[in-house]
């Protein structure tokens, strides 16, 4: 896992994913990143790179739904939110909540962080879940 921290964007996969977001004009990049997690069969674990991308997408959704600052986001994500905040619908919010819940409960990424013995990742994900819930 190419991670330098427990933050949503502090890994290679999410950093690469945000470049895809930069060119997104219809929200499809968000939908695809979130859907791959919720569409993974229940008897399979979503893979770590997909989970990192979904958490990044969910962070964009949560940030777009609140009036809070986006300074914690990569520049590309902040620019996307400024230009396309209206694409973050209640349905997309629900999809993001479902994806984050799945990653937090049973995923390859969760297992990797559990093995590392670092509880800060779980705190980051719990905070994201809470912000998504409060955005409804």
pTM above 0.85, yes or no: yes
Q: What is the largest CA-CA distance in the chain?
A: 39
pLDDT tens, the chain, 136 aa long: 588 889 999 999 999 999 999 899 999 999 999 999 999 999 999 999 999 999 999 999 999 988 666 668 999 999 999 999 999 999 999 999 999 999 999 999 999 999 999 899 999 999 999 999 997 6
Coil, helix or strand for 11?
strand
Are 59 and 8 within 8 A, CB to CB? Answer: yes
Which pair of structure tokens corresponds to residue 76?
A: 């590309």
The full set of domain ranges for the chain reads: 12-134
In SS3 terms, 83-124 reads as HHHHHCCHHHHHHHHHHHHHHHHCCHHHHHHHHHCCCHHHHH
């Amino acid at each position: 896992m190419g991670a330098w921290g427990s933050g949503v964007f502090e890994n290679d996969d999410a950093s690469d994913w945000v470049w895809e977001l930069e060119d997104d004009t219809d929200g499809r990049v968000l939908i695809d990143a979130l859907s791959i997690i919720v569409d993974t069969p229940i008897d399979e674990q979503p893979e770590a790179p997909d989970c990192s991308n979904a958490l990044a997408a969910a962070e964009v959704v949560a940030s777009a739904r609140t009036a809070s600052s986006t300074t914690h986001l990569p520049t590309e994500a902040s620019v996307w939110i400024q230009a396309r905040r209206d694409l973050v619908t209640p349905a997309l919010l629900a999809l993001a909540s479902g994806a984050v819940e799945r990653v937090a409960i049973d995923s390859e990424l969760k297992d990797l962080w559990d093995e590392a013995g670092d509880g800060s990742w779980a705190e980051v994900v719990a905070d994201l879940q809470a912000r998504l819930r409060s955005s409804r």
